[in-house]
């Protein structure tokens, strides 16, 4: 069941759909609603923010617009950081359904078991997900754009470089025979610094992401004390995407909460990024 419906996004289906459409049409959003999936190109991997929709929804919409005119993914793997420090180091939600005001999404149990078979870095565990918002807030956007799909939520507490490279390698191995899939890394960028400083720090991290440079991302975060909360999920998706033939990456939109509210004294940074995979 949802942990943050009515807080991070509206709790009624009608209001939630309207909020998502507002995000697409917002002055910071892409300015139009997405067309349906259904092309012949693989969907790109995405990096998407996870604040309340009023703050980060318009930025997130840029990424989800990229799913139009693409092959519709059978399964969406969403990786998010564990903000609450509960549960296991790398937790896969093992089975059942995830519920939002827009309906329920089945968990890809087969993929969950396959990943646990490939690497013992994973634990099959529901508890780690019980309060976490970073994965949950992506699901309604996906429901709006894709309709039906399966989901595999992975909550990462241990964001060390070694662990996240292991996660990325296992994902690439498990997904290589899937007809179609989508990887989503959930992260916000710099937290609670003045707008100008936040954007400078964000740009340093974003440059490493665009270059698909996992080790460089960790180095720039350490050197410049960048308070990006989901660097581990980003690293895992970058690693998996590279192994699956990633050819290029692009920042679609970068903004801060100050661009929404006008308060630039202490902002949070958000970005939508796409990573194009090689054609099968």
Q: Which domain holds residue 262?
A: 13-276
> Which tens digit of pLDDT belongs to each residue from 111-122?
999 999 999 999
**Does the pLDDT of residue 21 top 60, yes or no?**
yes
CATH number for 225: 3.40.830.10
Give residue 278's pLDDT band: very low, low, confident or very high (50, 70, 90): confident
DSSP string, 193-256: E-HHHHHHHHHHHHHHHHTT-HHHHHHHHHHHT---TTHHHHHHHHHHHHHTT--EEEEEEEEE
CB 209 within 8 A of CB 238: yes
At 263 the pLDDT is 95
pLDDT tens-place string over residues 122-147? 999 999 999 999 999 999 999 999 99
Residue 247: predicted pLDDT: 83
What pLDDT is recorded for position 39? 84
Share of the chain above pLDDT 70, in %: 99
**pLDDT of the residue at 38:** 84
Whole-angstrom distance, CA of residue 178 vs CA of residue 182? 10
Is residue 88 within 8 Å of residue 157, measured between CB atoms?
A: yes
How far is 50 from 60, CA to CA, in rounded Å? 8
Q: Are 214 and 108 in contact (CB under 8 A)?
A: no
The pLDDT tens digits of the residues spanning 154-206 come to 999 999 999 999 999 999 999 998 989 999 999 999 999 999 999 999 999 99
CA–CA–CA angle 272, 278, 280 (5° rounding): 130
- How many domains, in total, are found in the chain? 1
Q: What pLDDT, on the 0 to 100 scale, is given for residue 177?
A: 87
**Average pLDDT over all residues of the chain:** 96
Q: What is the mean pLDDT of residues 226-242?
A: 98
Q: How high is the pLDDT of residue 279?
A: 64
CB 268 within 8 A of CB 190: yes
**8 token code pair:** 């991070």
Q: Is residue 1 part of a domain?
A: no
Residue 71 in domain: yes
CA 184 – CA 135 distance, rounded (Å): 9
Q: Is residue 78 part of a domain?
A: yes
Contact between residue 142 and residue 87 where contact means Cβ atoms under 8 Å apart:
no
pTM over 0.85: yes
Whether residue 228 is contained in a domain is answered as yes
Range with top average pLDDT, 7-11, 37-41, 84-88, 274-278: 7-11
Q: Spell out the alpha helix ranges (H) of the chain.
A: 13-25, 53-65, 109-118, 138-146, 161-175, 195-210, 214-224, 231-243, 257-261
Domain-embedded: residue 66? yes
Residue 5 lies inside a defined structural domain of this protein? no
CA atoms within 13 A on the CB side of 48: 32
Q: Given this model, what pLDDT does residue 274 score?
A: 98
Say what the pLDDT of residue 62 is.
Answer: 98
């Amino acid at each position: 069941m949802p942990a943050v419906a009515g807080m991070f996004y509206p709790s009624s289906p009608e209001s939630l759909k309207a909020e998502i459409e507002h995000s697409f049409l917002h002055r910071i959003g892409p300015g139009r609603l997405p067309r349906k999936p259904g092309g012949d190109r693989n969907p790109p991997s995405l990096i998407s923010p996870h604040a309340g929709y009023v703050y980060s929804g318009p930025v997130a919409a840029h990424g989800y617009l990229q799913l139009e005119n693409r092959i519709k993914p059978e399964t969406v793997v969403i990786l998010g950081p564990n903000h609450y420090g509960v549960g296991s180091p790398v937790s896969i939600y093992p089975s059942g359904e995830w519920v939002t005001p827009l309906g329920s999404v089945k968990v890809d149990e087969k993929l969950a078991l396959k990943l646990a078979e490939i690497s013992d870095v994973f634990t099959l565990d529901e508890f780690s997900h019980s309060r976490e918002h970073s994965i949950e807030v992506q699901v309604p956007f996906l429901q709006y754009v894709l309709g039906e799909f399966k989901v595999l939520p992975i909550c990462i507490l241990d964001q060390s470089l070694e662990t996240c490279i292991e996660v990325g390698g296992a994902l690439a191995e498990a997904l290589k025979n899937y007809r179609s899939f989508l990887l989503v890394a959930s992260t916000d960028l710099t937290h609670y610094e003045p707008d100008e400083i936040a954007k400078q720090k964000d740009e340093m991290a974003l440059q490493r992401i665009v270059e698909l440079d996992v080790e460089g991302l960790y180095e720039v975060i350490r050197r410049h004390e960048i308070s990006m909360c989901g660097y581990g999920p980003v690293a895992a998706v970058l690693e998996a995407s590279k192994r699956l033939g990633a050819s290029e990456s692009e920042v679609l939109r970068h903004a801060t909460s100050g661009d929404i509210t006008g308060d630039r004294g202490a902002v949070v940074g958000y970005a939508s990024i796409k990573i194009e995979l090689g054609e099968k």
